[in-house]
Structure 1
Amino acid sequence: MAGHRIDMLDIQRIVQLKARGESNRSIARLLGINRKTVNEYVLHLKEKGKDFSELKDLDETSLASVLPSPKVFNKPDTYQELSGMFPEFKRSMQSSGFTYLNIWELSIQRIGASRRGRKSLVLHMMIVLRDL
């Protein structure tokens, strides 16, 4: 949450400290966790409709079942298509007279990109070239 998952022990401590009446800011300071991360966990736990005094008595497994499952990042289709072109990119990069323009033109030719889509294509190209 807030871009980072935190340790279950920290989540249990958040619940205990909230049950004691601590503010989110003081919890963040005490545990060394980003305030926004604490806010998101507290908000999510409040949405479950249980009081923090009830939640603090839950074991680790039960508390984990109340939390959202981790988000899975799916790479966009364009990235997947470009990844399939890795071998061809590598061959191009090893040939004499190689320029990144060659890869760019090959990508545009294969995938096609409208003027609007070229910005995202550039971002995906940067990721692909970094992975080579």
Structure 2
Amino acid sequence: MANTLDPMDLKQIITLHLDGISNRRIASILGISRNTVNTYMQLFSASDHPLGELLELDAAALSELFTSHTTVDTVRHNELMLYLEQANQSRTHPGFTFQHHYQQYFGQARDPYSYTQFLEHYRRKYPREKGSMKLDHVAGEEMYIDFAGKKLHLVNRETGELIPVEVFVSVLPCSQYTYVRACMSQKRADFIDCCTHALSFYGGAPKAIVSDNLRFCRQPCQ
């Protein structure tokens, strides 16, 4: 059980937490037990409101949301946390989308969170690292090319057979203008054909075509 706190105390807990202060230190500053701080942080995390939004609420709204509670629905929150761990492990898999994983979570959860809160909790649990390198591109200088990691399929109209095809992708990095083409293989002949169609699509040739470590692009000319 946690002690019931005044709404202003709740706002102080949120503010100190957003400032990077530990729960132990927050308890010391406010003169309350660490268990009380831990419980209210769980309540905040399990609510349908981001911390910044909670700070904007008035005292009456905060009282209605939290001060009548002494325990948190840990089952609902822990259920989400376990699923987010699974989703994060799949993050690098080809074809990953948050929408797909939310639909799976929604179908399995006893009392699912909304999609917005699903994303908010994921970002809190796995904050993105900010990139430190900036790449500047000049229009017309480069065309990036690669094959997608996941194959698509053509359907034989007569037999219904699924025929796997490679997916060639090219992009002009300055404008992000993208061209996509299906082909039967990643062999040199298909690769050259895809590049030819990409250049025709763009209506010109860049100074350089940059591949992402394609095997036959590393082979010496014979």
Give TM-score, length-normalised by structure 1.
0.46
Q: Which has the higher helix share?
A: 1
Taking CA–CA contacts closer than 8 Å with sequence separation of 6 or more, which of the two structures ends up with the larger relative contact order? 1
Q: Which has the higher strand share?
A: 2
Structure with larger Rg: 2
